[in-house]
Amino acid sequence: MTTIQIELPDATANAAREAGLLTPQALERLINDALRCKQAADSLLSIADRVAAAGIPPMSMEEINAGVKAARAERKQRAGGH
């Protein structure tokens, strides 16, 4: 187990304490969530770098929306929806 000491402005510390965010369990959850977000962002950036290196042109918002709509329709059809 590691002990960490941090310095926060009083207002921030008081608000965090009142919100229950300064307990070891809450801090662990916050840090784990931040780590997952960072890993996801790093993964997306890595993919973006590979797409750029491959010379694949960016999709327009219309193309993205059409793809999302098609994927949702396919999922709905597989689930037996109408």
pLDDT digits (tens, 9 = 90+) for 38-68: 999 999 999 988 888 899 888 899 999 999 9
pLDDT given at position 49: 85
Label residues 14-28 b or e (16+ Cβ within 10 Å = b): eebeeeeebeeeeee
pLDDT surpasses 80 at 9: yes
pLDDT given at position 81: 66
* Percentage of the chain exceeding pLDDT 70: 98
pLDDT surpasses 70 at 78: yes
